[in-house]
Amino acid sequence: MARIATERQGDILVILTDSPPVNALGADVRQGLAAALTEAEPDASVRAVVLACKGKTFFAGADIAEFGKPMADPILPVLADKIEATEKPVIAAIHGTALGGGFEIALACHYRVAALSAKLGMPEVKLGICPGAGGTQRLPRIAGTALALEMIAKGEPISAAKAKEAGIVDRLAEGDLVAAAVAFAREVADLRPLPRASSLAAPQDIAPFQAFRERNPRLFTGAEAPVAIVDLLEKTAPLAYAEGAELENKVFVELLLGEQSRALRHAFFAERKAARIDDMAGDTVERSIRRVGMIGAGTMGGGISMNFLSAGIPVTIVEMAQDALDRGVATVRKNYEATAAKGRMSAEQVERAMGQLSPSLSLDDLADCDLIIEAVYESMDIKKELFAKLDRIAKPGAILASNTSFLDINDMAAATNRREDVVGLHFFSPANVMKLLEVVRGTWTADDVLATAMALARKIGKVPVVSGVCHGFIANRMLMPRQDEAVKLLMEGAMPHQIDKVHVDFGMPMGPFQMADLAGLDIGWHRDPARIESLRDALAAEGRWGQKRSAGWYDYDEKRAPTPSPRVGMLISVFRAQNGAAQRAITAQEIIEGTLYPVVNEGARILEEGMAQRASDIDVVWIYGFGWPAWRGGPMFWADTVGLSNIVASLERNGFEVSQLLRAKAAAGESFN
């Protein structure tokens, strides 16, 4: 429950909001703020007002949980106008993250004082909406159209220092923020006229909207909000404030009521829900992880290590041969240096991260690690042998983890005398970039091990999802039917580039064949060129292993740009002839139904078997693991929008065995989310 306290510091009134966890601007907060301002207005002994928040952050935005429900008065734009219209200076004291509606409240204040560590931004676009409390009109007037366009259309926050530079923040504060804001309030208490953003002239730097669209093509493929936002800013740039605000409100409401915003809000809450483990005691105490051991310095091992190094956790990395170890360490350095070259890291940060990395050729050096992750070759025999060795080397209480993407964690655990300490940590490639982490809960995995893995994942900036033990876990298991069905469609007349294009048009970053080329067609291949049982075998046997060989389902040029391959076309013809299936023109709708409905079916089976805790976890896996467009909410949310009975009917028509759960839900008219 929100608490809005007022506190007098001499002639300055501090209105202090305390509404955990993030001071979202729900009805009670809005009402409390309005009441406190109404009280302060006529009080002659109050010369200025400071708006501040308790807890970890200034207002982090409107209360997203209220969206789609009737809004109690005062609504946010009305509250913002009330603040701005106050006849005494109102100063925002910003710490943490002033986001969305929170940032808009700050912009409606006459002045802004921010803690050095604060961040300010308008992430509404990520929820499929535009700012709705005057932000699209006040920000360009204060900071110029170019910066406003960047911030509102992309949704990335900026630092307090950058905000100061742009004229958004009037003063940066070190130390006690409220005291600094009160001191600032005294300085400006008598200054008139009050600086009101809405009274500023329309911005003169009419930014190159078209250039922005051209510079950021990915932003505009499929998602409605970025398109609407840029159009709105362009249209309102020459207008008076009131007219612009009216248009903003219209666009805000339209977007809010749309399917995409509903999907994106689902994704927002799904991500947070995924971190919760339903059957775990609330008082489970996490183990402390001070040093991580990494076995394998290949692409995966190096990438995984970087996550910990970047978070300031030392890593001991072990390889079998010196040259492989050197290569691995050099790659980590190269990746960091590339980040530094882009200005996203300082040279000092690179050295600090590298300084935390201890290369070794001996597993014995892992004895002091609190968590050991193996990323060695995907062979159960090798892994079992390794776990048995780790059992002898690791200190008591150390967590032993495998980065396997398919194999049974329980078998590895059984090779130790501490099977409760074993867990799967399945990172996605490139491991230092992709945000998904599948945390695989084995039969014996202890609660505190699981809790530690989930907390650690968040610490290193990952989005963790718990999976049970099954072949391919949630992510790769669901990918398999998509790939199989895509290949079947080739037999009926589709071509790889046609199928991939349908997936890209759907909003995926790439299609199934592009993805197979990226992952490598040799992965999981039996390696016998004489044994050709599938089209994939035929490609692999010819050395068409994907991008790394410049040839796979596509041909690649030296810049890794793909073109449809005549050779693959020929092999497809050979297989079609053997297969005997009738050839026909395949439509985009058939490709969607043929390749994505089986994914939903597999997701339903995963739920049925209890391998995922909830349907929304599966959505999170696809959004963060495979780049499923968040504005479609993930495959299970999308299935709800398609209609489960439509999906069942299509699966039946195409001869699939339909998941019991999917069938039952469809029959009952239910949805997954």
Binding residues for ligand 3HC, per CB under 6 A? 21-22, 24, 57, 60-65, 76, 97, 99-101, 104, 123-124, 127, 131-133, 135, 269, 272
Closest-CA residue to 591 (of 477, 497, 657, 671):
497
Q: From CA 134, how far away is CA 78, in angstroms rounded?
A: 9
Cβ-based neighbour number of residue 39 at 10 Å: 13
Q: From CA 460, how far away is CA 454, in angstroms rounded?
A: 10
Q: From CA 393, how far away is CA 397, in angstroms rounded?
A: 12
Q: From CA 99, how far away is CA 618, in angstroms rounded?
A: 28
Closest-CA residue to 628 (of 618, 640, 641):
618
| Nearest approach, Cβ of residue 248 and ligand 3HC (Å) | 9
Which residue has 């048995």 as its token pair? 388
Closer Cβ to ligand 3HC, 332 or 436, answer by number: 436
Closer Cβ to ligand 3HC, 275 or 367, answer by number: 275
Q: Are 372 and 399 in contact (CB under 8 A)?
A: yes
DSSP characters for 559-584?
Answer: T--EEE-HHHHHHHHHHHHHH-PPP-
| Nearest approach, Cβ of residue 24 and ligand 3HC (Å) | 4
| Nearest approach, Cβ of residue 66 and ligand 3HC (Å) | 8
Closer Cβ to ligand 3HC, 104 or 602, answer by number: 104
| Nearest approach, Cβ of residue 96 and ligand 3HC (Å) | 7
| Nearest approach, Cβ of residue 285 and ligand 3HC (Å) | 19
| Nearest approach, Cβ of residue 458 and ligand 3HC (Å) | 7
Closer Cβ to ligand 3HC, 65 or 570, answer by number: 65
Q: Are 663 and 605 in contact (CB under 8 A)?
A: no
Q: From CA 444, how far away is CA 469, in angstroms rounded?
A: 11
Closer Cβ to ligand 3HC, 121 or 359, answer by number: 121
Closer Cβ to ligand 3HC, 7 or 156, answer by number: 156
466 has which bridge partners?
439
Q: From CA 63, how far away is CA 145, in angstroms rounded?
A: 27
Closest-CA residue to 67 (of 6, 129, 111, 125):
129
Closer Cβ to ligand 3HC, 91 or 133, answer by number: 133
Peptide bond into 208 cis (omega under 30): no
Distance, C-alpha 561 to centroid of its chain: 27
Q: At 243, phi and psi to the nearest 5?
A: -65, -45
Catalytic residues: 104, 124
Q: Are 635 and 662 in contact (CB under 8 A)?
A: no
Q: From CA 591, how far away is CA 642, in angstroms rounded?
A: 15
Closest-CA residue to 299 (of 347, 332, 250):
332
| Nearest approach, Cβ of residue 146 and ligand 3HC (Å) | 21
The SS3 assignment for 289 reads: coil
Q: Tell me the helix, strand and coil percentages in the chain, rounded to 5.
A: 50, 15, 35
Closer Cβ to ligand 3HC, 256 or 400, answer by number: 256
Q: Are 428 and 401 in contact (CB under 8 A)?
A: no
Q: Are 576 and 583 in contact (CB under 8 A)?
A: yes
Closer Cβ to ligand 3HC, 99 or 300, answer by number: 99
